Chain A
Amino acid sequence: MPRLGRDMLKSADVVVVGKGPAAWLAAGRLLSSGRKVVLVYRSEGTYPMWPGDLSLGNPQKNRKDASIDDTGLGVNEARTLLEEVGIECRQASDGESYFTLTPTGARRPTSVWPAWMYAEREPQDLIIVGMRGLPDSMPYLQARKLKMGKGIEVATCELPAPPGWNRDWGPLRFASFIDTEKGMSWLISQLSTALAGTDPSFHVAIPQVLGLNNTCAILEEIEEQLGREVHEFGTLSPSVGGIRIEQRLGNWFAVNGGRTVQGVVASVEAGPLVRLRDGRTLLTGAVVLATGGIAGGGFEIHPDGSVYDPILDLSIGKVDSLTDFEAVGYRSVGEFAESKIFAVGRSIAGWHPNRDFNGGAMLASTVEQALLMIEETA
């Protein structure tokens, strides 16, 4: 046991472990409510993999903690945080489903999404703008799949590769270029040529590369110059939408006094005391584990299929196939509440966001539950 003498100062009200969407949501909301927060992370999180919307799925299918009705839990608070850090959002009203568009033309249900993102309630006439030289731009495929049996018109056009383009340009490089003044005027002139003469009632969807920092200004400028609204669909590897959100969250967090510490958490001991592998310790009032389950690297799977939690030194279960992955994890947010340890996000068993499209509900609800419990124990 570490010596908890008077020389040992409390580092934080809450230590959040992890750097993915659940960790940021927990850390952001805690900081926003006036807590002293330290975010400890081992490596980069998964924000750069997601387009950045919150999908709530079908509430009836969501995992139900026996004691909690988690329908819509924490969703408004999550949206409030996003807007607080400067991301204007749209939200479907209760009972409504909206759909975002993937680079392969699939419609994916969503509930809360950044204003830059293309989302529709019903299939509608659409112009898809492709970009030559962008790996995830496949307008023909998207149009073909979107139209199939839906009685809508989907037109496509393709902008040329930007000046200076070479084969190594990924979405981030496209976005950085369009962030510049030169890039923005190039885009607007190309768009006005490509869209000239098209039906102005058609919505326009374009790959999610309209800048990293100036996205809102770029979209406003497009609207002013072209007289029509343009929205983005998410692309992958990396996903510029997720990066935008993480950057804004990170900046806001730092400016408002949140601390980030890079290190590997070796254990959480009584106190709670978070011990890093390099010997540093953080004494805190509560710990939020947002370590991402198997996908986030929070749990280890051994060759025999056994699943192990290295921070709490716990055996979590056993898996055989990939479909078992969702079934293993902590039983509930408050499973370790007595030790003032709370778990959020993917580390909670039973959620199946891949199947149920409720990743947003999973984040919002588990973080909300953790915050309520921290409130109670404080």
Chain B
Amino acid sequence: MLSGIFHLEQGGAVRVVRGGGTRLNEILSGKPAKVAVIGAGATGMGVAVDLLLRGVAVVVLEMNEVGSGTSGRFHGLLHSGGRYVVTDPQAAVQCAIENQILKRMAPGAIEDCGGYFVSTGSDPEYEEAWVKGCEQAGIDVTEISRTSALTEIPELTPGATRIYRVPDAVLKGFVMLKYLLSKIRELGGDVLEHHEVDSIEVKNGKVCQVSGQSANGRFEIPVDAVVNAAGASSARVAELFGVSLNVIPSSGVMVVLANRHLNTVINHLGPPGDGDIFVPHDKVLILGTTDVAQADARPPEPSRQEANYLMSQGTKLIPNLFSWRVLRAFTGVRPLFGQLGSQPDNRSISRDFKVIDHGEADGLEGAFSIVGGKWTTFRLMAETAGDCICRWLGITTASQTKELAFGPSSSRKSGVGPVLCECEGVTADELESSRNPSSVEAVRLASWFAMGPCQGTYCSHRVIGRTFPDEYDIKIHELRQERSRGIQPVAWGENAQMAALMESVRCQGLGETC
């Protein structure tokens, strides 16, 4: 059942007359309009918050779980903009501004560790353009001496010629998503997981209802507008509008290194390429990334070859990289907006975003899409989309997301135990606090179990045995498969030994089928 302001109404199309006419649903809900946002990633939830703050009623419909798409599968870099100053100045400026806003808005979700751009002297022309570009984009760049950089980061390549400090930071995606989720609920909206929209009803050229499938059966929600914020799946959602969108899913492989070897972000100063960013993330370090266009919106499984290639690229900055223990590899899919084949390669497609009013563009009133962009610019994307939608709804309230303040960081409850996951310190009572979890994935993201060096070998059975005892076999199997998909491509060195031990423990110690 839908809760709060959204009720299942039979044929209750609510008419909203553009330009300030009578709004019947004002009487019904006390809100000027109802909007369904499709996709509970950073973009969709950002749009929801933006609209709710302007007094619009919003429900977010997510086919999987909050952050299960691209927002939960990225390297965690809060861009200073430096990466794009030469190739994509528009995105660079956006990043530079949003970087500052987000640091102020959600300090608990951001580790302001700073970053370095390291030049190896391979492309002096690019370097010159980069310095100039940073200045134009308003990015605060300080050159530091080679000696002090090598003292601070002894593992850095001795081939480093010049090193620049930039305000890169680390964005803890899931913390930010949690903030957005609780803000949405605080403002009277809701996020419904496992609600897959499969049809959008239109009356008189105007969107009037979204419907689809949830775990509890069919749902139908009368709305005034629909926002397609489905990320890599947004082309598929646009088809429900009868519209085609040029969203190119571009996959990137990332490798998680088991220790936090670096305390700052490190970028290679050169045209954006593969394996040229290191991002420290809590206890681990993430190396990113590749950029491969694909047809499918789902992230592909990383291969050993790709992981090995990415690591080799990473040795340009950290020559000793292969001696660092790897933990797993994963892929994310960027929903780039552009013309496939119109650019020499994916990297040339702008990281800029676009809000499309399908009323103007395609004659379907009340339908909007927001495509492209970056995690770093999600707030700006939300604001821009909010402006566009509110203009159409006739709402004049300005965006307020810039003034939002989240946090302080909701540090984990100090559990009374017992400790189920030793790697991440997850206790049994922490699980009890997330009563009726929707999935193992949701428990994992809320508690972070199975994310540490043992990758769930010793804790998965304890957590699933307590949270889903009645579906134990299938759930444990799914989690093991998911974990091993990420381990397999980087099963070398100590990680391979760990993987082999893990197989033994689960098959021989726990009697799981191998």
Q: Verify A144–B470 contact, CB threshold 8 A.
A: yes
Q: Among B307, B466, B492, which residue has its beta carbon within 8 angstroms of that of A302?
A: B492
Question: Which of B37-45, B330-338, B345-353, B419-427 sits within the interface?
Answer: B419-427
Tell me whether B465 is interfacial, beta carbon within 8 Å.
yes
Q: Verify A134–B418 contact, CB threshold 8 A.
A: yes
In the assembled complex, which residues on chain B have CB atoms less than 8 Å from the CB atom of A302? 492-493
Tell me whether A108 is interfacial, beta carbon within 8 Å.
yes
A97 vs chain B, min Cβ distance (A): 14
Interface readout for B163-184 with A: 1 if CB under 8 Å, 0 if not? 0000000000000000000000
Interface residues on B, range: 35 or more
User: Nearest chain-A residue to B507 (Cβ)?
Assistant: A354
Q: In the bound complex, how far is the Cα of B504 from the Cα of A353, in angstroms?
A: 8
Q: Verify B469–A140 contact, CB threshold 8 A.
A: yes
In the assembled complex, which residues on chain B have CB atoms less than 8 Å from the CB atom of A295? 497, 500-501, 503-504
In the assembled complex, which residues on chain A have CB atoms less than 8 Å from the CB atom of B462? 135-136, 138
Q: Verify B484–A133 contact, CB threshold 8 A.
A: no
Tell me whether A102 is interfacial, beta carbon within 8 Å.
yes
Q: Among B420, B493, B505, which residue has its beta carbon within 8 angstroms of that of A49?
A: B505
Q: Verify A51–B497 contact, CB threshold 8 A.
A: no
Q: Verify B511–A322 contact, CB threshold 8 A.
A: no
Q: Verify A357–B508 contact, CB threshold 8 A.
A: yes
Q: Verify B508–A359 contact, CB threshold 8 A.
A: yes
Interface readout for B470-514 with A: 1 if CB under 8 Å, 0 if not? 101100100000001001101111001101110111011111101
In the assembled complex, which residues on chain A have CB atoms less than 8 Å from the CB atom of B304? 303-305, 320
In the assembled complex, which residues on chain B have CB atoms less than 8 Å from the CB atom of A103? 461, 465, 510
Q: Verify A49–B501 contact, CB threshold 8 A.
A: yes
Q: Verify B308–A304 contact, CB threshold 8 A.
A: yes
Q: Verify B472–A239 contact, CB threshold 8 A.
A: no
Q: Among B473, B484, B509, which residue has its beta carbon within 8 angstroms of that of A234?
A: B509
With known contacts A51-B509, A102-B510, A303-B311, A322–B499 Cβ distance under 8 A: yes
Residues 69-125 of A at the B interface (beta carbon under 8 Å): 102-108
Tell me whether A50 is interfacial, beta carbon within 8 Å.
yes
Tell me whether A297 is interfacial, beta carbon within 8 Å.
yes
In the assembled complex, which residues on chain A have CB atoms less than 8 Å from the CB atom of B490? 303
In the assembled complex, which residues on chain A have CB atoms less than 8 Å from the CB atom of B418? 133-135, 167, 169
Q: Verify A167–B497 contact, CB threshold 8 A.
A: no
User: Nearest chain-A residue to B416 (Cβ)?
Assistant: A167
Residues 134-190 of A at the B interface (beta carbon under 8 Å): 134-136, 138, 140-141, 144-145, 166-170
Tell me whether B322 is interfacial, beta carbon within 8 Å.
yes
**Is chain B's binding surface mostly helix, strand, loop or mixed?**
helix
Tell me whether B158 is interfacial, beta carbon within 8 Å.
no
Q: Among A138, A167, A353, which residue has its beta carbon within 8 angstroms of that of B469?
A: A138
In the assembled complex, which residues on chain A have CB atoms less than 8 Å from the CB atom of B476? 104
Tell me whether A321 is interfacial, beta carbon within 8 Å.
yes
User: Nearest chain-A residue to B429 (Cβ)?
Assistant: A167
Tell me whether A236 is interfacial, beta carbon within 8 Å.
yes
Tell me whether A237 is interfacial, beta carbon within 8 Å.
yes
User: Nearest chain-A residue to B311 (Cβ)?
Assistant: A303
Q: In the bound complex, how far is the Cα of B466 from the Cα of A302, in angstroms?
A: 38
Tell me whether B300 is interfacial, beta carbon within 8 Å.
no
Q: In the bound complex, how far is the Cα of B414 from the Cα of A167, in angstroms?
A: 10
Q: In the bound complex, how far is the Cα of B462 from the Cα of A140, in angstroms?
A: 12
In the assembled complex, which residues on chain A have CB atoms less than 8 Å from the CB atom of B458? 236-237
Tell me whether A301 is interfacial, beta carbon within 8 Å.
yes
In the assembled complex, which residues on chain B have CB atoms less than 8 Å from the CB atom of A51? 509
Q: Among A133, A144, A303, which residue has its beta carbon within 8 angstroms of that of B492?
A: A303
User: Nearest chain-B residue to A352 (Cβ)?
Assistant: B514
A46 vs chain B, min Cβ distance (A): 7
A316 vs chain B, min Cβ distance (A): 13
In the assembled complex, which residues on chain A have CB atoms less than 8 Å from the CB atom of B427? 167
With known contacts A136-B462, A138-B469, A303-B492, A108–B508 Cβ distance under 8 A: yes
Tell me whether A294 is interfacial, beta carbon within 8 Å.
yes
In the assembled complex, which residues on chain A have CB atoms less than 8 Å from the CB atom of B322? 303
In the assembled complex, which residues on chain A have CB atoms less than 8 Å from the CB atom of B504? 46, 49, 295, 353-354
Tell me whether B12 is interfacial, beta carbon within 8 Å.
no
Q: Among B415, B466, B473, which residue has its beta carbon within 8 angstroms of that of A138?
A: B466
Tell me whether B121 is interfacial, beta carbon within 8 Å.
no
Q: Verify B419–A168 contact, CB threshold 8 A.
A: yes
Name the 7 nearest CB pairs between A and B, nearest first: A167-B417, A106-B511, A295-B500, A354-B507, A301-B496, A108-B511, A138-B465
The contact sample of 24 A-B pairs, CB cut-off 8 A, is A49-B505, A51-B509, A102-B509, A104-B512, A106-B512, A133-B417, A135-B462, A138-B462, A145-B473, A166-B417, A167-B417, A167-B418, A236-B509, A294-B497, A295-B500, A304-B308, A305-B304, A321-B491, A322-B487, A322-B488, A353-B504, A354-B507, A354-B514, A355-B507
Known: A141-B469, A236-B458, A239-B509. 9 other contacts (CB 8 A): A104-B465, A107-B511, A167-B415, A167-B418, A236-B505, A301-B491, A303-B308, A303-B493, A325-B503
